[in-house]
Amino acid sequence: AQSVTQLDSHVSVSEGTPVLLRCNYSSSYSPSLFWYVQHPNKGLQLLLKYTSAATLVKGINGFEAEFKKSETSFHLTKPSAHMSDAAEYFCVVSGYSSNTGKLIFGQGTTLQVKP
Amino acid sequence: GAVVSQHPSRVICKSGTSVKIECRSLDFQATTMFWYRQFPKQSLMLMATSNEGSKATYEQGVEKDKFLINHASLTLSTLTVTSAHPEDSSFYICSAISGSGSLEQYFGPGTRLTVT
């Protein structure tokens, strides 16, 4: 079975400092992994995805994530936080099998950006 | 990019009534749509998978007679919450996969349901 664990429920950073949102996954096959962002009362926006190509994935808004199979991790980073980055972030793994499209969501990490 | 819309964006209904939520893919044909439920400050929980022209597949613990899903066309899926109760109040989000072979899901903006 597939699962994903976001290690921090809440992360607080100062504007201009680096962001690290941690995610570990469990999968019985080579997974597809995603990071989504959700602003309050809004739908989800895809930040980036890993689908067995390059292990360092670059996404929108300066975010990137590195797939580390040995550590079963897919942490999200950004060199410099902006106030507009404050939102809920979800690490997601494709579920059950690679061709159903089902997604398994992590618990979410709330990113707070302080001025 | 692909756009998915939901209507209404928010709805308030009285306990015991039914409410229908629409999910539309605006610029692509969606062979598969998903319905999620999200409680405040919690993650998304998959409720069901909807394939055009066939019955929806519900996740364990989701009552199919309470949450009726219809996927009558390649651009429209509807979720009807029947005999709604206050505990059904939630944020409902749909997503869609295009028929192009990509498994990327495109999410709608969500519908806030409040049952009084």
The predicted-structure confidence for B54-92, as pLDDT tens digits, reads as follows 889 999 999 999 999 998 888 999 999 999 999 999 999
For the cut 70, the answer to whether the pLDDT of residue A99 exceeds it is no
Note the pLDDT of residue B23: 96
> Would an 8 Å CB–CB cutoff place B105 in contact with chain A?
yes
Q: Which of B41, B42, B110 sits opposite A43 (nearest CB)?
A: B110
Partner-chain contact A43 B46, CB within 8 Å: no
Partner-chain contact B49 A94, CB within 8 Å: no
Judged by phi (left if over 0) then psi (alpha if -120 to 50, else beta), residue B48 lies in beta
Contacts with B103 from chain A: Cβ below 8 Å: 32, 94, 99, 101
Partner-chain contact B46 A102, CB within 8 Å: yes
Partner-chain contact A102 B104, CB within 8 Å: no
Question: Considering only A24-33, A67-76, B75-84, which range has the smallest mean pLDDT?
Answer: A24-33
For the cut 90, the answer to whether the pLDDT of residue B39 exceeds it is no
Burial profile B55-64: b = 16 or more Cβ within 10 angstroms, e = fewer = ebebeeebee
Contact by Cβ (8 Å): A94, A103: yes
Residue B17: pLDDT band with limits 50, 70, 90: very high
